[in-house]
Structure 1
């Protein structure tokens, strides 16, 4: 019984290591080019066996990061500029509305976000964990707004955001520090209770993400999200 349990733990650990290796590797691939990965190639590069590679690839397929093609391997699809624009524009609309809802009324939110910023800073040397924490930061704001329909829609964008976020962190030398500073600015604005200031901080953060991906910012009108001025969605 103990041997079986120990075997399962080692297998899970190998899968997790391979999963994280794959995410880091995929982050470094050219965003606008498709690539194929093979179980054998990944196993050799990651220093593991093919079984955890297969399991990690299935996990990534479930997240929408890769597409497994029988007898060929796992295909990492390209991410077009138009897809980035569409996904980030949707993020901007949702996050603008949500941060305006939570800023004046949600108690304890700033403290919860402060803890996530501190945790994210501790993860600055681990791009995959850093992006996971980044997503938790934004998800917390969206969920605390209390609109389950918007929260579910926002979560549906998650798969597309993973590789974009990893690519943004990997492609800019000082991006980690910039993200932390921008998150701190969002927390400060929420703590102030000024909804307009908080919405502006979120917009500035998302616009800088698009700039990191070498794409122009998209300007929407805040009236779509309940505001009164332009909102930069990214």
Structure 2
């Protein structure tokens, strides 16, 4: 009985979190527990428990007698998210520079290289997924589970920002493609200085793009 309740809570958590980070539930919008429970085919209890967990992760705001709302994205959120990314990703990239998988680097190079070829124009969702997978690949190459768990929460918040910048998709895609290829080539050269330079520049440029939405 306990395991079933936990699984329902986890199911509700993943379902609601996905709606939030993909902006199906927009920042500031009301969270209707009854509707979510109906969609999931479960009672309100695991939905409520999931919402409490998402509040702890700062993706939801709960106000007594008013209800639950998707947390807004503020200027401070963007500043802090990209500050953390710059500190963590750059440091990890330097640590794994000599040992990171060449095979996976070549895979990502191929994916970024061909994404604008005729007949292979990538959608903004596929683009975000590829971008996210690459950055997670860098961090997980260090195999520090505490760090991975922490940075994944940051990537969830970053993904919401990305979805809200879809109006800038074409501009970002062209810039982003070159920046990723520069980072990958620096890794392939095992050049720590270049890796740090290109990755730091990429994160700063991504931050500038995110700030435009505010």
TM range (shorter): 0.5 to 0.7
Residue matched to 2:105: 110
Cα deviation code 1:86-135 (max 9, x no counterpart) = 111111111111111222233424224325535866573243x3322221
Provide the aligned C-alpha RMSD in A.
3.9
Deviations 1:53-112 (CA, angstroms, capped at 9, x unpaired): 889xx6x96776556889988623211111211111111111111111222233424224
Contact kept? 2:82, 2:204, Cα under 8 Å: no
Which residue of structure 1 lines up, in the alignment, with residue 161 of structure 2? 164
> Could you tell me which of 187, 190, 194 is aligned with 1:190?
187
- 1: distance between equivalents of 2:21 and 2:127? 15
SS at match of 1:145: coil
* Aligned counterpart, 1:80: 74
Mind listing any 5+ residue stretches in structure 1 that lack a counterpart? Answer: 1-15, 44-49, 216-234
| TM-score normalized with structure 1 length | 0.61
8 Å contact from structure 2 (residues 95, 142) kept in 1: yes
Q: Secondary structure at the match of 2:30?
A: strand
Gapped runs of 5+ residues in structure 2? 1-14
| Matches of 1:107 and 1:166, distance apart in 2 | 29
- Corresponding residue for residue 124 of structure 1: 122
Cα distance 1:87–1:123, how it changes in 2: closer, same or farther (>3 A)?
farther
1:179 equivalenced with 2:176 (yes/no): yes
**After TM superposition, where is structure 1 displaced by more than 4 Å over at least 4 residues in a row?**
19-22, 24-27, 37-40, 60-74, 118-123
Between the aligned partners of 2:124 and 2:68, the Cα distance in structure 1 is 24
State whether residues 86 and 203 of structure 2, in contact with CA within 8 Å, keep that contact through their aligned partners in structure 1.
yes
Cα distance, 1:207 vs structure 2? 0.7
**Paired residues, number:** 185
- Residue 36 of structure 1 aligns to a residue whose secondary structure is coil
Cα distance in 1 between the residues matched to 2:198 and 2:84: 17
